[in-house]
């Protein structure tokens, strides 16, 4: 037996974890399914079309570029699929049919080709590709991206405003907290149901695929700041009168905090750094929501903090065992 | 003695490697079949190889010296079977280095040349005599490092040892040799500890056992309950707790300085198997000619803990335990730090704690993807290193930087590679960096 070259020789360790990259990516996709299913019930088939187009565009873009530059085909690792899915979830559900399909396509192509692959592929991108894609189309087609929101459960009716806009500009009627939690509101495709997103998030945290610290600190920071300063926009401004629950249940915070701020590539590698990152995201989100012209702060907050990640990683390093007081040099 | 309420462990990193579904913890130690031939390397320890003192045609008995230690950092090598020396040849040992091997054909009766003698009254012996005995009997660390034990127990006069730590933590997942030894040889272990205490002149002994072995904790705790100065420490199960630095940190809270030895914090760590071997050498006059080896893997028909004669070929061992299908990988040692062998004509040596056989399906070459910055490798590194950063430095051939980043602090435990979702060859690259450094140093000299 075994006299031939049939024995594999390799350096130790000889066992590896089962949580390989594709497993991780597809798990995140699975965790996002409840929110997608929910979007169908709230916004109808148009939501599903947008999701399909944007996922398809992302996967195709990656495949074509892989083939063009003759690199290893990376689409099966699920990361392009996930990017496309997240882009769709961040696009508005418009009334009376879906968004013009060039919007999801543009967002996906930009995310994959420019933000991810042009910087060297997965792992090298400094900005979350899905957010980059979203912000790109947001600036390119601002009007389409910010108006004509479909009213929940009757997708052909134009709702006057998303919950955050309603809160900020005192326009329209505010949905109840329960509606927000369950997702019976206007908004982006994947962001409306906090319940569905939390469900996915808990699954990922238990599977140790995303860390708990970023979502928890991000949401907490937002809640506290919204409570302290949220009341300043009201007709009788006062501190400590904001509605924290309203802020954390609306405007894509759950989607951002659980699924996008936690992206491995674009968030800090260690606990302390992650806490700082998450708190930073929270502060910027509230700042934009309360003072900016724009009502949604999550995407910009995360992208701004993405930029700071290399600095944050330098700030917090573990000391090498057996070298007390001596910090490791980067 | 007392066990702590909350088991302690080392603070940084560590993993719980996944189970592959086999377990040999409950298999009692069994004597393996006697081999027809043994091939005994003359270099089975760290340090200078022994010099052959037999020639082809010589008749030897079990326990006869066939290789004499040549220098201080060297120990004797003994024949593990009675028989005729066939040849002395050069060959690769399991660690991949070229060494001389004495090939002996089994002839006659297995009869320990010393049986029938009454036990030695070691308490009357001087420390020098005991040390000499340990060296002559060829005792080395059985945890895998094979450092000559007589050197470990000859403490330099400028160092003061305050604690002896007994490593009863299985060094590697899937292996159970140490566990079986500690369950089955408690009395020998206690005498071994007394001998080590005398040599090191220490009062406090800690036996570190992980909490996945409650039976051992209970049995040994009972056995030491009325002995002054020996304490069983209940440790939280986590790999690599068997690493000396991790074990000392877990039990005593002391950190061995970077580049230093346990001696520097007043500690000597001995593996439980070594302690038993010391007892057998000093009291029974038994040289190290056999050891307990865990033979395991999902395609092994009769996995278990076997007492195997040093020099037995892996193929003879595997023939005895039986394989369900052709192996894909044979590892000497454990899954995390063991060495894959290129054929099965390798002899079991003093450092072989396990033989792990992986199926063709389990033996995969891993294709690595780029780092996705998940930070997992950093958080599992027990040495507080940044494996991905180190790896990048080494890949870019920035040797100075890699050393600054702690390349030489890496204990090669493999936690980083195990846990990396991109399956980067982190530990492997760091080992490469160390080898390059050695090569460079040789080039300079
Ligand atoms: S192999 Fe080295 S770098 Fe990797 S986890 Fe172990 S000590 Fe750290
Ligand atoms: S575990 Fe792998 S993917 Fe994660 S940071 Fe380390 S090298 Fe990168």
Q: What's the pLDDT score for residue A5? A: 63
Best CA proximity match to A72, nearest among A130, A121, A118: A121
Strand partners, B207: B166, B232
Other beta carbons less than 10 A from residue B197's beta carbon: 17
Assess A143–B contact: CB distance below 8 Å, yes or no.
no
Say how many domains are in chain A.
1
Instruction: Identify which of A14, A267, A321 has the shortest CB distance to residue B245.
Output: A321
**Mind listing the pLDDT tens digit for each residue in B334-345?**
999 999 998 888
Q: What is the ipTM of this complex?
A: 0.87
Window B:18-77, CB contacts with A under 8 Å: 18, 20
Query: Would you say residue A1 lies in a domain?
Result: no
Band of residue A190 on the pLDDT scale cut at 50, 70, 90: confident
Lowest-confidence segment of A67-76, A273-282, B211-220 by average pLDDT: A67-76
pLDDT, one tens digit per residue, over A217-252 is: 999 999 999 999 887 776 777 788 888 888 888 778
Q: What percentage of residues in chain B have a pLDDT greater than 70? A: 97
Mean pLDDT of B118-144: 88
- Residue A195 in any domain: the answer is yes
In a domain, A330, yes or no: no
- Over residues B404-426, the pLDDT tens digits come to 999 999 999 999 999 999 999 99
CA B270 from chain centre, in angstroms, equals: 10
Could you tell me which chain B residue has the CA closest to the CA of A77? B369
Closest CA relative to residue B282, chosen from B180, B186, B352, B196:
B196
Contacts of A323 in chain B (CB under 8 A): 257-258, 409
A87 domain-assigned:
yes
At B411, list the tokens.
Answer: 């204990």
pLDDT of residue A249: 85
Pairing of the two strands B98-106 and B37-41: antiparallel
**B402 alpha carbon, closest ligand:** 1
Greater model confidence, B145 or A270: A270
- Could you tell me if residue A15 is inside a domain? no
Give, using CA atoms, the residue closest to atom 3 of ligand 2.
Answer: B371
Locate A199 and state its tokens: 């469900």
Secondary structure of B216-229 as H, E, C letters: HHHHHHHHHCCCCC
Q: DSSP string covering A173-213, please?
A: PPPPHHHHHHT-S-SBTTTS-HHHHHHHHHHHHHTTSS-SH
Measured in Å, residue B371 CA sits from the centre of ligand 2 at: 5
Percent of chain B with pLDDT over 90: 72
Interface of B with A in 87-106 (CB under 8 A): none
Kindly give the number of the ligand 1 atom that is closest to the alpha carbon of B13: 5
Residue A152 is part of which domain span?
21-318
Under the banding of pLDDT at 50, 70 and 90, the label for residue A330 is very low
Averaged pLDDT for residues B423-439:
93
Q: What is the pLDDT of residue A146?
A: 76
Report yes or no: A315 at the B interface, CB cutoff 8 Å: no
Q: What residues have CB less than 8 Å from A184, skipping those under 6 apart?
A: A42, A152, A153, A175, A192
- What element of type H or E holds A48? helix A45-68
pLDDT tier for residue B196 given thresholds of 50, 70 and 90: very high
Query: pLDDT, tens digit, for every residue of B67-109?
Result: 998 888 889 999 999 999 999 998 887 777 788 999 999 988 7
pLDDT computed for residue B146 by the predictor: 86
Q: Is B309 helix (H, G, I), strand (E, B) or coil?
A: strand
Map out the domains of chain B with their CATH numbers: 116-282 (3.40.50.11540), 376-444 (no CATH)
Please work out whether the CB of residue B371 comes within 6 Å of at least one atom of ligand 2.
yes
Chain B interface mutation, best of A3, A5, A7, highest count of B Cβ atoms under 10 Å: A7
Whether residue B4 is predicted with pLDDT greater than 70 in this model: the reply is no
Within-domain flag for A64: yes
**CA angle (B346, B348, B352) in 5-degree steps:** 120
- Sort B254 into a burial class: Cβ within 10 Å, 0-12 / 13-18 / 19+: middle
Per-residue DSSP letter, A135: H
Pocket of ligand 1 from Cβ distances under 6 Å: B 380-383, 385, 387, 410-416, 426-427, 430
Please give the pLDDT value at position A2.
42
Residue B135: closest CA among B84, B185, B77, B201: B77
DSSP A286: H
Q: Which residue of B has its CA nearest to A13?
A: B336
pTM of the model: 0.89
| Residue A299's CATH number | 1.10.3430
Instruction: Give, in order, the Cα–Cα distances in Å from B116 to each of A228, B112, B113.
Output: 87, 9, 9
pLDDT (0 to 100) of residue A303: 93
State residue B2's pLDDT score. Answer: 45
- Give helix B177-184 / helix B186-200 axis angle, nearest 10°: 90
Rounded CA separation B156/B263 (Å): 9
Tell me how close the Cα of B36 comes to any Cα of chain A, in angstroms.
18
Lowest mean pLDDT among A71-80, A88-97, A218-227, B141-150: A88-97
Identify the weakest region by mean pLDDT among A134-138, A265-269, B361-365. B361-365
Q: Is residue A11 part of a domain?
A: no
User: Using one digit for the tens of pLDDT, what is the confidence trace for B18-61?
Assistant: 888 788 989 999 999 999 999 999 988 888 889 999 999 999 99
| Predicted pLDDT at A172 | 61
Candidate of B368, B377, B387, B417 to mutate for ligand 2, largest count of ligand atoms within 8 Å of Cβ: B377
Span from the CA of B349 to the centroid of ligand 1 (angstroms): 26
- Range from B27-36, B76-85, B315-324, B358-367 carrying the lowest mean pLDDT: B358-367
The size of chain B, in residues, is 445
Query: Which residues of chain A have a CB within 8 Å of the CB of B323?
Result: 1
Which chain A residues have a beta carbon less than 8 Å from that of B409? 320-323
Q: A57-71, B94-108, B289-303: which range is least confident on average?
A: B94-108
What does the pLDDT read at residue B3?
A: 45
Beta strands in chain A (DSSP E): 150-151, 154-158
Q: Cα(A278)–Cα(A287) distance, rounded to whole angstroms?
A: 14
Tell me what the mean pLDDT of segment B218-231 comes to.
Answer: 91
Nearest to A36 by CA among A267, A193, A148, A211: A193
Mean predicted confidence (pLDDT) in B369-373: 90
For B13, phi then psi, to 5°, come to 65, -155
Residue A49 lies in a domain: yes
CA of A325 to the centre of ligand 2 (A): 26
Q: Is A69 on the interface with B (CB under 8 A)?
A: no
User: Which chain B residues are closer than 8 Å to A319 by Cβ?
Assistant: 384
Q: Could you report the per-residue pLDDT of A146-161, keeping only the tens digit for each?
A: 776 777 776 666 665 6
Treating both helix axes as pointing N-terminal to C-terminal, what angle do B272-284 and B127-136 enclose, rounded to 10 degrees? 110
């Amino acid at each position: 037996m075994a006299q031939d070259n049939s024995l594999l020789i390799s350096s130790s360790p000889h066992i590896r974890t089962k949580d390989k990259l594709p497993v991780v990516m597809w798990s995140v996709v699975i965790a996002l399914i409840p929110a997608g299913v929910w979007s169908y019930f709230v916004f109808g088939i148009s939501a599903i079309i947008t999701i399909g187009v944007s996922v398809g565009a992302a996967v195709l873009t990656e495949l074509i570029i892989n083939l063009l530059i003759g690199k290893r085909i990376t689409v099966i690792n699920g990361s392009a699929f996930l990017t496309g899915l997240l882009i769709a979830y961040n696009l508005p559900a418009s009334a009376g049919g879906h968004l013009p399909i060039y919007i999801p396509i543009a967002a996906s192509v930009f995310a994959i080709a420019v933000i991810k692959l042009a910087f060297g592929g997965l792992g090298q991108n400094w900005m979350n590709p899905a957010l980059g894609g979203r912000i790109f189309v947001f600036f390119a087609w601002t009007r389409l991206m910010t108006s004509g929101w479909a009213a929940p459960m009757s997708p052909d009716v134009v709702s006057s405003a998303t919950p955050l806009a309603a809160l900020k500009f005192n326009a329209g009627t505010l949905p109840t907290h329960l509606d927000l939690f369950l997702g019976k509101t206007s908004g982006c495709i994947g962001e409306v149901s906090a319940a569905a997103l939390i469900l996915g998030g808990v699954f990922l945290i238990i599977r140790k695929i995303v860390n708990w610290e970023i979502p928890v600190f991000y949401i907490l920071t937002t809640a506290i700041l919204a409570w302290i300063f949220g009341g300043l926009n009201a007709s009788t401004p006062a501190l400590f009168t904001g509605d924290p629950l309203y802020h954390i249940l609306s405007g894509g915070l759950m989607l951002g905090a659980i699924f996008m701020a936690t992206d491995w590539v674009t968030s800090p590698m260690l606990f302390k750094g992650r806490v700082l990152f998450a708190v930073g995201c929270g502060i910027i989100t509230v700042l934009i929501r309360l003072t900016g012209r724009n009502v949604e702060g999550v995407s910009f907050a995360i992208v701004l903090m993405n930029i700071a990640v290399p600095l944050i990683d330098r700030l917090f390093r573990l000391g090498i065992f057996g070298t007390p007081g001596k910090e490791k040099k980067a | 003695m007392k066990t702590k309420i909350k088991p302690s462990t080392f603070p940084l990193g560590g993993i719980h490697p996944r189970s592959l579904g086999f377990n040999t913890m409950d298999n009692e130690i069994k004597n393996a079949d006697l081999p027809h031939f043994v091939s005994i390397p003359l270099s089975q320890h760290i340090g200078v190889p022994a010099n052959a003192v037999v020639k082809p045609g010589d008749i030897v008995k079990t326990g006869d010296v066939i290789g004499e230690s040549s220098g201080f950092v060297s120990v004797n090598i003994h024949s593990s079977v009675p028989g005729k020396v066939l040849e002395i040849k050069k060959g690769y040992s399991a660690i991949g280095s070229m060494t001389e091997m004495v090939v002996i054909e089994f002839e006659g009766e297995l009869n320990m040349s010393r049986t029938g003698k009454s036990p030695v009254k070691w308490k009357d012996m001087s420390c020098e005599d005991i040390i000499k005995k340990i060296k002559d009997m060829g005792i080395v660390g059985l945890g895998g490092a094979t450092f000559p034990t007589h050197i470990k127990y000859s403490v330099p006069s400028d160092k003061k040892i305050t604690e002896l730590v007994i490593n009863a933590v299985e060094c590697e997942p899937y292996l159970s040799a140490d566990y079986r030894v500690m369950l089955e040889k408690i009395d020998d272990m206690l005498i071994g500890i007394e001998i080590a205490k005398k040599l090191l002149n220490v009062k406090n002994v800690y036996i570190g056992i992980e909490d996945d072995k409650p039976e051992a904790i209970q049995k040994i705790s009972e056995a030491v309950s009325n002995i002054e100065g020996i304490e069983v420490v209940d440790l939280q199960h986590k790999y690599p707790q068997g690493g000396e630095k991790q074990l000392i940190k877990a039990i005593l809270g002391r950190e061995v300085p970077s580049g230093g030895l346990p001696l520097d914090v007043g500690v000597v760590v001995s593996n439980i198997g070594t302690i038993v071997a010391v007892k057998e050498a000093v009291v029974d006059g038994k040289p190290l000619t056999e050891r307990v080896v865990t033979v395991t893997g999902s395609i092994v028909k009769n996995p278990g803990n076997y007492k195997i004669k040093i020099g037995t070929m892996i193929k003879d061992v595997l023939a005895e335990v039986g394989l369900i299908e052709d192996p894909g990988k044979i590892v000497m040692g454990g899954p995390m730090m063991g060495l894959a062998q290129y054929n099965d004509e390798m002899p079991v040596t003093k450092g072989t704690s396990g033989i792990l056989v992986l199926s063709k399906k389990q033996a995969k070459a891993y294709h690595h993807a780029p780092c996705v910055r998940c930070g997992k490798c950093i958080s599992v590194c027990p040495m507080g290193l940044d494996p991905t950063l180190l790896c990048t430095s080494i890949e870019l051939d920035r040797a100075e930087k890699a050393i600054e980043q702690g390349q030489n602090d890496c204990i090669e435990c493999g936690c980083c590679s195990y846990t990396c979702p991109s399956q980067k060859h982190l530990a492997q690259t760091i080992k490469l960096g160390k080898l390059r450094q050695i090569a460079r140093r040789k080039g300079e000299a």
